[in-house]
Amino acid sequence: MGQKVYINGEFFDKEDAKISVYDHGLLYGDGVFEGIRAYNGKVFRCEQHVDRLYESARAIALKIPMSKQELNDAIHEALRTNGLDDAYIRLVVTRGVGTLGLDPTKCHSPQVIIIVDTILLYPEYYYEKGLEVVTVPTVRNHHNALNPKIKSLNYLNNILAKIEALQAGVIEAIMLNKDGFVAECTGDNIFIVSDGNLITPASHAGILVGITRGVVMELAEEAGIKSVEQELTRFDLYVADECFLTGTAAEIIPVIRIDSRDIGDGKPGPITCQLLKMFRDETKDKR
Ligand code: PMP
């Protein structure tokens, strides 16, 4: 059976799932999105993702033309329709068709799109051996320009950083904010382990407040590991005992080198491995 894409209540074959070239999502990146995982037919932290989508939409004055419950039902229907148990679900809400001008009030019907697919962000190798990353020159968006809390369709800030990482020969970048403090990666949040505690930048550092980040903090609490939100400099990264990234697609991935410096002893650390195991058990629970 071919893949089916949900657009505004209807399912289309992948090849026929199309929206207008006048959609402001395409013309201006005017819209919001979510990436969600399903593990064995259960949508992981669905409510939190739906809540964040609605918050992103409110922040850009975009009214999603259905209730949270209706959207929740549509997500589950899309999962069933595609017959996938383990899946990556991409929810997209665009501003809809408008004129060639910016004015969003000329767009009268937001498009709600649900794509159900699979994703492998990083090969398994990196989960065992760890990832090398670099800090990059592109500064994370300032919260008064485009708040990184908004998961908008405009990801150019992140893409520019990704290009810089690739140019440096690695596959992920650490972005700093305009004050030089660590913010996040292009599609993941960042944690370090120092003296047995987890440290991660606070929301005001200019980050997307990741749902996986929240799950990791819950798991840490369960394991009796303290987690704190604190400003981090590159120095703090370089002298950390361990480092890892979190995200819906990546889950938890160890980082073993930053800007050519080994982190800890250059191998995935014990707390990272413990949390990765707990995370996998937590998602297996949903199986
Ligand atoms: N930061 C950015 C910029 C992201 O795009 C994402 C999601 N891919 C994350 C962090 C992680 O968020 P979550 O755990 O909710 O997927």
Please provide the DSSP assignment of 142-164 as one string.
PTTTS-TTS-BS--HHHHHHHHH
Measured in residues, the chain has a length of 287
* CA pair distance 86, 43, nearest whole angstrom: 9
Tokens of residue 58, six digits: 């409110």
Q: Nearest C-alpha to atom 13 of ligand 1 is from which residue?
A: 210
Name beta bridge partners: 247. Answer: 251
Put simply, whether the predicted model's pTM sits higher than 0.95 gets the answer yes
CB 135 within 8 A of CB 184: no
Count helices and strands (H / E) in the chain.
8, 15
Could you identify the atom of ligand 1 that is nearest to the CA of residue 207?
Answer: 1
Residue whose C-alpha is closest to residue 193's, from 173, 223, 150, 170: 223
pLDDT class of 51 with cuts at 50, 70, 90: very high
**To test the ligand 1 pocket, which listed residue (139, 143, 208, 251) has its Cβ within 8 A of the most ligand atoms?**
208
Q: Nearest C-alpha to atom 10 of ligand 1 is from which residue?
A: 188
Instruction: Based on the residue annotation, tell me whether 151 is a catalytic residue of this protein.
Output: yes
Q: With 90 as the cut, is the pLDDT of residue 121 above it?
A: no
Q: With 90 as the cut, is the pLDDT of residue 119 above it?
A: no
Residue 285: per-residue pLDDT: 65
Tens digit of pLDDT for each residue in 250-274? 999 999 999 999 999 999 999 999 9
Catalytic annotation, pick one of 4, 14, 149, 151: 151
